[in-house]
C-alpha cells in the first residue's frame, strides 16, 4: 500500500506552507475567509457527505490528473501521502500497533475537521470546511471535471 503517514518534521513544513502561502485560518464560528487559494479555484456547497460512488468519482478525476503522490491533510489528526491510483476504501481505517491507536484516512468530504488534499506540485486540490459545508476545488482541469459532474456530485 502506498498510503503513508507523513513524518512530523515534513508535516510541519507542509502545514507551514498552508498557513503562510494559503493563509489557512482554521475557525469554527462565524463568517470568515478560512483560506486563500493562489491559483484558479471554485467553491461549491454540499450539505451531506459524499456517497461511496461520489468518492470513487472524485478519486477517478484525481487518478486521471495527478501523476504522482498526493497529500491528505486532516486538521489536528494524522496527515498522509497517497496515490489516487491506489484504491483506498471510503472511511478507511487501520490499527497502528506501534502507536496503539486507530488511524483514519480522511474522506474527500470533511467529516468534522478540515480535510485538505493537494497533489505534490500543489496544482490541484480539494479543500473541505465542515462548518461552512464548503468544498473548494483548485486547478482548472479539476474544476472542469467537477463542473461537468455537478449533478452526479450533488453540488451547487
Helix runs in 25-149, H state only: 52-65, 140-147
Residue 116's pLDDT is 98
The residue-averaged pLDDT of 133-156 equals 97
Decide if pLDDT at 111 tops 80: yes
Asked if residue 94 has pLDDT above 80, the reply is: yes
Cell numbers of 109, please? 468530504
Domain boundaries along the sequence of the chain: 4-153
Predicted confidence at residue 146, as pLDDT, reads: 99
**Closest among 91, 114, 89 to 104, alpha carbons compared:** 91
Q: Which three cell numbers stand for residue 64?
A: 486521471
Residue 48 pLDDT level (bands cut at 50, 70, 90):
very high
User: With 70 as the cut, is the pLDDT of residue 1 above it?
Assistant: no
**Computed over its alpha carbons, how large is the radius of gyration of the chain?**
15
How do residues 70-88 score in pLDDT, each as one tens digit?
999 999 899 999 999 998 8
pTM score above 0.75: yes
Q: Give CA–CA dist 52/59, Å, rounded.
A: 10
Answer whether residue 65 shows pLDDT above 60: yes
Q: What is the full DSSP assignment across 114-156? A: -EEEEETTSSSEEEEETTTTEEEEESHHHHHHHHTTHHHHT--
Kindly list the distances between the CA atom of residue 41 and the CA atoms of 70, 71, 146, in Å, as whole numbers in the listed order.
Answer: 18, 18, 11
Residue 56's DSSP bridge partners are none
What's the CA gap between 102 and 118, in Å, rounded? 24
Q: In the predicted model, is pLDDT for residue 13 greater than 80? A: yes
137 pLDDT higher than 60 = yes
Residue 112: pLDDT band by 50, 70, 90 thresholds? confident
Amino acid at each position: 500500500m502506498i498510503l503513508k503517514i507523513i513524518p512530523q518534521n515534513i508535516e510541519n513544513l507542509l502545514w507551514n506552507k498552508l498557513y503562510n502561502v494559503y493563509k489557512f485560518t482554521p475557525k469554527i464560528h462565524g463568517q470568515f475567509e478560512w483560506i486563500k487559494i493562489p491559483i484558479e479555484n471554485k467553491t461549491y456547497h454540499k450539505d451531506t457527505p459524499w456517497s461511496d460512488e461520489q468518492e470513487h468519482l472524485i478519486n477517478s478525476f484525481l487518478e486521471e490528473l495527478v501523476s504522482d503522490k498526493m497529500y491528505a491533510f486532516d486538521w489536528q489528526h494524522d496527515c498522509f501521502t497517497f496515490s489516487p491510483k491506489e484504491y483506498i476504501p471510503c472511511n478507511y481505517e487501520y490499527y497502528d500497533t506501534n502507536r496503539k491507536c486507530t488511524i483514519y484516512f480522511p474522506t474527500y468530504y470533511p467529516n468534522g475537521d478540515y480535510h485538505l488534499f493537494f497533489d505534490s506540485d500543489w496544482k490541484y486540490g480539494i479543500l473541505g470546511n465542515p462548518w461552512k459545508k464548503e468544498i473548494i476545488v483548485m486547478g482548472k482541469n479539476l474544476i472542469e471535471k467537477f463542473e461537468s459532474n455537478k449533478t452526479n456530485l450533488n453540488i451547487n
